[in-house]
Structure 1
Amino acid sequence: MALPPKFAGQKLVSSAIQPATVHTLEIYLDYVCPFSAKMFKTIYTSPLRSHLLTTYPTSLQTIFRQQIQPWHPSSTLTHEAGIAVLQLAPPAKFLDFSAALFERQAEFFDANVVNETRNATYKRLAAIAGGVGVDEKGVYERLEISDRPGEDGGLNGGNGVTADVKVLVKMNRLVGVHVTPTVVLDGVVRGEVSSGWSVEQWEEWLKENIV
């Protein structure tokens, strides 16, 4: 869990680490949530992105937390694709992939995947990754589910990203996040933040809270 800078004295760190603690803004988003798409676009593809990087270059870090919403089965599949991109590509490509996927999120809503096989959905997700310069074949290889028993005879072996999915789910359960989007600042859920906020509203809120 993030630690507010005012409690930096609680940390045992080398004096070479400066600053010892920065503000941490965590944005919990789901790829098939329309409200998550709105917040992502405001934060990552508008002038707010530059504002975050230039106004708070050493005092704030922003983290996109992948939040799987299991009542939409394709939510798991889309987030698995995000993990495959993280495994394969430079960090910046994850945000490029996320932007492309949010633009096309309706293609993965329940009604648009219900008659599609799981691997067919994975192929479409891999193609989106390929469109932003990530190895499409490599993404699909990490996502594909075999229709044959594993070497141990098991039929429920998962895929190349299953272990990382488990880690992300464990991390999110620790803070009890449920709805998306959810904004957490320095370990505290900030329910006043809305997906409908403008850039100006975000800037004012940041000015009040990043001190």
Structure 2
Amino acid sequence: MSLAPKFQGQKLAAANLHPTPHTLELYLDYVCPFCAKIFNTFYTAVKPIIDEKYSDKLQVIFRQHVQPWHPSSTLVHEAGVAVLKVAPEKFWEFSEALFRRQKEYFDENVVNETRNDTYKRLAALAATVGIDEKKVFDLLFISSEGGERLNRGNGVTNDLKLIIKANRVVGVHVSPTVFFNGIEEKSISSSFTAAQWEEWLGNNVV
């Protein structure tokens, strides 16, 4: 599936504008432990392999995938969208930081704080990777003084709707889910080791 220009930060090495024959899409939820596992292996051990051997053959896209049975999933993905707006080149780095601290945003760790307080923590997390904290928080903030215009969302609501709509079009339900060239690649799981990834790349990215 194509990627809208506003979401180009979801593409690994987004500065590379050359077309590639293959596309790998990772549908990941920031508060899913299995997504953290696959992301950490991919980002630390597989990305260097792709950079070295497959940069002209494979593009990789991080597809944000909200899991609504965890209410905080919406909030953390809103933060991801805010980063795409403020500093798209930092999206993958921010995602690494968020996955590393994902337990801080599990249900039990957000249930007693306000939504804006969670946003404050997420904006502060963005600052740890060099992103403007205020700009991120301003996009996420929900005012309690809406007057007659209630339920408007925040500065990223419309973009998040597009992301969710795109995922629904292709029928993605669980996370993580991996697509290769537009077709679900069920052989790849969260338990894939770096060696298994390298073997899979060698067999498929030709």
| TM-score where L is the length of structure 1 | 0.88
1:90 to partner: Cα distance: 4.0
1:18 to partner: Cα distance: 6.8
Give the aligned residue type for 1:158.
Answer: G
Q: Does 1:113 align with 2:99?
A: no
Q: Matched residue of 1:86: which SS?
A: helix
Using a 3 Å threshold, how does the CA distance of structure 1 residues 147 and 102 change in structure 2: closer, same or farther? same
Structure 2: distance between partners of 1:49 and 1:147:
43
User: Deviation string for 1:158-199 (max 9, x for gaps)?
Assistant: 000001001101111111101110010001101111101110
Structure 2: distance between partners of 1:148 and 1:24:
44
Q: Does 1:182 align with 2:180?
A: no
Structure 2: distance between partners of 1:148 and 1:107:
28
Give the structure 2 partner of residue 45 of structure 1.
44
The count of corresponding residues between Structure 1 and Structure 2 is 192
Give the structure 1 partner of residue 63 of structure 2.
65
What aligned pairs does 1:1-211 form with structure 2 within 5 A after superposition? 1=1, 22-46=21-45, 48-91=46-89, 93-150=90-147, 153-211=148-206
Q: Matched residue of 2:178: which SS?
A: strand
Give the aligned residue type for 1:22.
Answer: P
The percent identity for this pair of structures is 60
Q: Matched residue of 2:62: which SS?
A: strand
Stretches of structure 1 lacking an aligned partner (at least 5 in a row): 3-16
Compare CA radii of gyration and give the structure with the larger one. Answer: 1
The alignment's C-alpha RMSD in Å is 1.4
Q: Matched residue of 2:154: which SS?
A: coil
1:155 to partner: Cα distance: 1.0
Stretches of structure 2 lacking an aligned partner (at least 5 in a row): 3-16
Any runs of at least 4 consecutive aligned residues in structure 1 with deviations exceeding 6 A, and if so which? none
| TM-score where L is the length of structure 2 | 0.90
Structure 2: distance between partners of 1:164 and 1:22:
27
Structure 2: distance between partners of 1:45 and 1:209:
21
1:22 to partner: Cα distance: 1.4
1:67 to partner: Cα distance: 0.3
